[in-house]
Amino acid sequence: MSNSLLILPGDGIGPEVMAEVRKVIDWFGARRGIAFDVSEDLVGGCAYDAHGTPLTDAAMEKAQSVDAVLLGAVGGPKYDKLDFSVKPERGLLRLRKEMDLFSNLRPAVCFDALADFSSLKKEVIGGLDIMIVRELTSGVYFGEPRGVFKEGNERVGINTQRYTEGEIARVARSAFELARARNNKVCSMEKANVMESGILWRDVVQEIHDAEYPDVELSHMYADAGGMQLVRWPKQFDVIVTDNLFGDMLSDVAAMLTGSLGMLPSASLGAPMANGRPKALYEPVHGSAPDIMGTGKANPIACILSFGMALRYSFGKGEEADLLERAIDKVLADGVRTADLMQAGDKTPATTAEMGDAIVAALDASV
C-alpha cells in the first residue's frame, strides 16, 4: 500500500520544526525502506497571504484524499486583526470539521531524562503515561447560535455548547478502545453539576460503557476537579475522555506535566476510509510560538513525535514508531536539550536543527 502524506507546515515555528520531521521521514525511507509519497501545501496565515483564505479548497481536497496529514502550527500576531472568518486558526478548524476528526488523542508521557525538569516533583511525574481523548468536531467550538450581536445599546458575544448523543457515543467508544489496549481505565470529565450538555455527556458515556465496555473501569469527574487532580497526582489516570474546550485546556496542563509544550504530539482521527485506515491529521499540541520564531529555539520533538503517531495509527508501523520514540529517549538521556528544556546552570542549548540531527544520529545508531 502506498503511504501518502500531506505536509502543512503553517506559520511561525511550524516550518522550522517540520524541516526536522523531513529529516526523520527521509531516514525511514533510506534506512527502513518505508517510502512516503509526500506533498506540501499552505495552511493558516501563509495561505491567507498567498490566496486570501487560511485554507484553499484545493488543499482541503488534498487533505481528504491522502492517508495522513501532518500539520506544523498556525497563527501569529500579524494576523490578529484579520476578520474572524479568515483567521489562520479557521484553516485548522476547517480541516478538523470537514475531515470529521472527532477523536483527538493527546498523550502526555514523561521521558525519564526529563523527570527532573517538570515544575512538579519527580515522584509525581516519573513514569507518567496518560492519554487525553478530546472531542474535536463539536461542542462550544462549533455550536450555533454564535457571534457578536447588538442587544439594545451593548454588544453580546454568544457561543453555544451543543452535543448530540451520537457525538458523545463515538468519542466515548474511541476512548474505551484505547483503554483496552492500555491500562483499561477511563475517566470522563464534564461539568454535569452546571451544564445540561454535561449531564447528557455523563449519561451517554455510562450507557456506552455498560452496554459495550463493561470490562473497562470507568469513573466520572468534574472537569475543574480533573484539572486539579492532573496536577496533584496525574498517575491516577490512564485515559481521560472529555469535550472540545475542556480537552483543549486539560491537554495544555498535561503538556506542562511532562516539561514543555514542545514535547507533546497529537493525533486527530475520524472514521475509517475505504483502505481501512482512519482519516487522520497529526500535529503538535503547541502553537506557532511567535516569541521564538526564527531564533532556532523551537523544540522539534512534539512534531517529530506527531509523525511517530502517524507511523503507528495511519501506516501500521508501530515498531518503527517505537524505534523513533526510543531514539528521542536516548537523545534526551544524552543531555541534548533545546532552550525550552534548559535549567539554570545548563550549557548552551541545542538549536532546532541540532536536535533534529541528534535524533537522526540516534536512529542511525539504533539499527
Residue ranges binding ligand NAD (CB under 6 A): 13, 17, 73-76, 89, 92, 261-262, 283, 286-292, 298-299, 302, 340
Binding segment (CB under 5 A) for Mn ion, from list 58-66, 88-96, 245-253, 311-319: 245-253
Regarding 325 and contact with ligand IPM (CB under 6 A), the answer is: no
From the list ligand IPM, Mn ion, ligand NAD, none, pick the one residue 356 interacts with, judged by a Cβ distance below 5 to 8 Å according to partner type. Answer: none
- Identify residue 237 by its one-letter amino acid code: F
Place of cell 472540545: 244
Q: 294 a known binding residue?
A: yes
Residue 248 contacts ligand IPM per CB under 6 A = yes
CA distance 73 to 113: 26
CA-wise closest residue to 249 among 139, 129, 126 = 139
**Partner whose binding site includes residue 289, from ligand IPM, ligand NAD, Mn ion, none (CB under 5 to 8 Å by kind):** ligand NAD
Active site residues: 141, 191, 224, 248, 252
Q: How far is the CB of 299 from ligand NAD (least distance, A)?
A: 4
11 assigned binding-site residue: no
DSSP 8-state symbol, 277: P
Q: Does 84 appear as a known binding residue?
A: yes
* Residue of the chain from 40, 49, 89, 98 that contacts ligand IPM (CB under 6 A): 89
DSSP 94: H
Asked if 15 and 293 count as a contact pair (C-beta separation under 8 A), the reply is no
Q: Which of 18, 92, 269, 309 binds ligand IPM (CB under 6 A)?
A: 92
Pairing of strands 154-160, 143-151: antiparallel
For residue 358, give the C-alpha cell: 541528534
List phi, psi (to 5°) of 118: -60, 155
- Whether 215 has a binding-site annotation, put simply, is no
Q: Which stretch binds Mn ion (CB under 5 A): 45-53, 152-160, 244-252, 266-274?
A: 244-252
Question: Distance between CA 102 and CA 285 in Å, rounded?
Answer: 16
Give the C-alpha separation, 176 to 208, whole Å. 9
Annotated binding site for Mg(2+): 224, 248, 252
